[in-house]
Chain A
Amino acid sequence: MLLKVDDVRKTYARTRPVLNGVSLALDTGQTLALTGESGSGKSTLLNLVGALDGFEGGEITLDGTKLSGLGDAGRAVLRRDTVSLVFQQFNLIPSLTVAGNLSFHARLAGRDDPAWTATLTQRLGLADLLERYPENLSGGQQQRVAIGRAMAMRPRLLLADEPTGNLDETASAVVLDLMLSLVAETGAALLLVTHSQDIAARLDRQARLVGGRIA
């Protein structure tokens, strides 16, 4: 099993628990949509799986590594080598060009493959934008760069948090199509957080979070 979330609990200071015993599993090549109301803990769970944040109870096992025992450096290695993240806010590096952003994560992980990056560039329609900076791109273009960056390092697990939340309907459809086809081609697993039932319906499985638990 690529990802196993087992009875995970997470509480932010002075608030009620955000996650209260969540469990789920995801294997290589599978896609899972995580849905739920605002504040149900979807993004929190995604952050925990992405080794971005720590948790108080339970265990998350990613590619055979238990996250609860990892320190800052161990988590960083996992983010660098195993998972890729696509967020609603794109989170590109503003000081690098599109070309610089696309290859950045792959080079960081030591898996830079110029031919694969070139393929992604073509598939994502970014060939004419390579020398531009993120601030000069539209939202849809920025999200395509973010997906390209994430896929360029051939992650075992792609985590996407409302990746189309800032895009219009047409751009959303294009971005989602691209993401799903690339995930399928590379054999990566996908955990996607969304509000949209339409988007969730296009993935292999769905899990709904209610009150910090999988309903």
Chain B
Amino acid sequence: MQRTANIRRPESIDELLDSRLIAKVSHLDLASRKIFAGKLRGERRSKKRGESVEFADHRPYALGDDIRHIDWNIYARLDRLFLKLFLEEEDLSLHIVLDASASTDCGEPNKYLFMQRVAMTLGYIGLVNYNRVFATIMGGSPREGEAPPDEPPLRVIRNLRGRRRTHDLARFLCSIEPAGPSDFRTHARRIALSRTGRGVMVVLSDFLMKEGYEDALRLLAGRGYDLFCIQVLSPQEVEPDIRGDLRLTDIEDADTAEVTISAPLLKRYRQILSAYTEHLRTFCARREITLLSVQSNTPIETLVLDYFRKRGLLR
């Protein structure tokens, strides 16, 4: 709940992804409910017919079709115009959205560090499997010594593909440290507008947003992504360990609340937290968004190897 004391920011991929975990996750691949199931390395058959080497079907020519796709051999034989239809070859894109608002820089263990690791793990899996990997960090500020990225506050890295790019992804994830508000809605609109491909989008956040998460999620869900939301809460947020007469200051907007911690208040807090999470869950379920609520002390292995597979993010 409180700002993590003595946080050590990760510097390189080794601190985000240890080799033991690499060994365990290297056989995993991303899955999407919206994509055909199939075991093709590096590429996927799309439901959509389009331009590819793999023939799918013919259909009669209709006015306005691209004449480049007319099957001239059929025309020669049958004297009728048919279009050749191919299965479009689409590579799956993985878009990782990371909330770097100041509120994520809290908890023991640190929520942001946890989210960085999850993002790195997923990104690694995506890269290794030749998926197109995008990463967006909402909010935050560049770390000292890092070159200022293109257009703050939206920091994006695009079109990573292949194992070689893992270091690029890691460097990107390490370059930003949490600060300020996330402004989820603005970021969501930009992501939605700069459509870069269909695929899986993973939003990592604590979803504790005063302005609300609903509009943003609506924008993201509407763009055809297979959307996964991972709500990361620190154990201290679930079971507050603060006592006494306190003036609580919001780390993001300096809003204050004076409380005297008492048993009924804690009870009430827990009720409200669970109601909040439940509301998020209901909201996501209605829009086919998969929600996963985890605490920042959950081992990454368990999360990746167990939770994600059960929820269909990985296979």
Q: Do A and B bind each other?
A: no
